[in-house]
A and B are shown apart, each in its own frame.
Chain A
Amino acid sequence: MRLSSTIVCIGLIITLSAYSLHKTAKPYIIQYPAYFGNRIFVPDDNPETDAGVALGRMLFYENALSANNKISCATCHKQELAFTDEKKFSSGFDDSLQPRNTMSLVNLLWVRNFFWDGRATGLEEQAKTPLTGIHEMGQSLTVSVEKLQQKKFYHPLFKNAFGSDTIGEDMIVKALAQFVRTLVSADSKYDKYLRGEYKPTQSELNGIALFYAAPDPANNIRGADCGHCHGGPKTYSELYQNNGLDSVFTDAGREQITHQSFDEGRFRVVTLRNIALTSPYMHDGRFKTLDEVINHYNEHVLKSSTLSPFLQNKSNIVNGKQLDLNQKEKKDIVAFLNMLTDSSFITNKNFSNPFLN
């Protein structure tokens, strides 16, 4: 009886020590500019910690999380490409192609719902999909835990991050989410301009003006009104729109999640941060260049019952049916989009492969 009580006490002490270790894990402070705003999303049960972020970074580059031990998150999310992979559709571990274009991982701290159709609430939920998808990394979290248990160097890392000697499935996705939330891009030419540290060229200034202005030909105001959906310094709002790519939909987009007919053909409005690095564009990767994207919005928007009202009847000529930007204006907008490339983001060692450094 006395022996069993002692064992229970020791067990309690070990558990409490582990718990307090986790509770005392050093918080990781994510730095971002005030003009991004504080509407950030960090779940109460997964606060950012130094240890959690460091572990998440290793797991992000860990091939053992895939069924064939050959691919990791970083296979499709390459840092030098703002965490995309230049492919129209990425390949899974079994070489099958994914149904939609790989999204960049930039400034996700401000995002609530993930994927092109917003079907995953929170980065923890999002992380499970590629890890366990049968044509993505193709491995259950149970098997991933078993594989990581066999790599002894992970044991102290999980203990530091979560206070437990036993690796749990939820710890894998929580650590990954912690790391991905740190991927903040806020040091582009545009940021330097906002901070008063960079003087844009005339073309870039014209591009900024066109990007944000709604066309008003009656008052001689020319614009593209991109900022209506991509507005603000983050160039992102959590919106879903049908942007006129098709009039008949082979991919119903958000309708598949909400089962509402008004969501047919709607997809996420993406951030434009580092957009010059994340070709090809759109949910199906149909456009290879930013010029093609601008041409689409300028003169190829297709009508359908769910076409965004914000892409209708906007023109730089009175009673016009399309934007009608001229070639110079298109180039100016691309000049602005190039301002959103953040070289320090794609070379930040804190985001790079820890197994190589």
Chain B
Amino acid sequence: MRCIYCFLIFFFFMINTSLLFAQSDTLKPSVTVDGEVTKPLKLYAADIAKMKHSTVNVLSRDGKEHSYSGVPVLEILNMAGVTMGKDLHGENLSKYLLVKCADGYEVLFSLAEIDTTFTNRTVVLADSTDGKLLPSDRGPFQLAVPGEKKPARSCFQVTEFIVKFAKE
């Protein structure tokens, strides 16, 4: 009887352990912010959802305009302590933002392209489009860059923001 009891405890322990491994095997998607920052960030979907959102319209690959709701990239860079706004002058104007995506795709912006003291447009890290969560092959985070004739910089499945100095 004691043997059976011990076996059952062992059996349930093993099941729980394997479930734990199964759960921890898949990581939550996130966007990291690193490089020329004073405060590196790692933002998850729940963090993004809590932040103030803006909505922009972007010409998409289907040739139609769609609305994208998300957090202005400027706000994210400000949170990370990037030299934006009144600090974006002098040598800081030679900094760039490299945006990396899950499939290896990368796009680049000068910081001035993101800063609303330089430009009227608002580039957002979107988590929804046309009132719905982004589809799985594009989300959970897509860059939405309004005012561009080609949607090539409105890239899918964003995973990293890296701020660097151009040193050439």
Contacts and interface: CB of A to CB of B under 8 A. Distances in A.
Contact of B29 (A260, A306, A308): A260
A260 B136 CA distance: 12
A240 B101 CA distance: 10
B104 A239 contact: yes
Contacts of B25: 259
A266 B138 CA distance: 14
Contacts of A118: 104
A342 B102 CA distance: 32
A263 B103 CA distance: 8
Interface in B70-126: 102-105
Nearest to A307: B137
Contacts of B61: 309
Q: Identify which of B26, B62, B103, B156 gathers the most chain A CB atoms within 10 Å of its CB.
A: B103
Contact of B136 (A237, A239, A241, A306): A306
A258 interface: yes
B128 interface: no
A79 to B, nearest CB: 28
A267 to B, nearest CB: 11
Contacts of B156: 309
Contacts, number: 41
A309 B137 CA distance: 6
Given A238-B104, A260-B102, A262-B102, 19 more contacts: A118-B104, A239-B103, A239-B104, A239-B105, A240-B102, A240-B104, A259-B25, A259-B27, A260-B26, A260-B29, A261-B26, A262-B29, A262-B136, A262-B157, A263-B102, A308-B137, A309-B137, A309-B156, A312-B137
Which of under 10, 10 to 19, 20 to 34, or 35 or more describes the interface residues of A?
A: 20 to 34
Interface of A: 118, 237-241, 258-263, 266, 305-309, 312-313
Contacts of B62: 313
Q: Identify which of B27, B102, B138 gathers the most chain A CB atoms within 10 Å of its CB.
A: B102
A260 B138 CA distance: 13
A259 B26 contact: yes
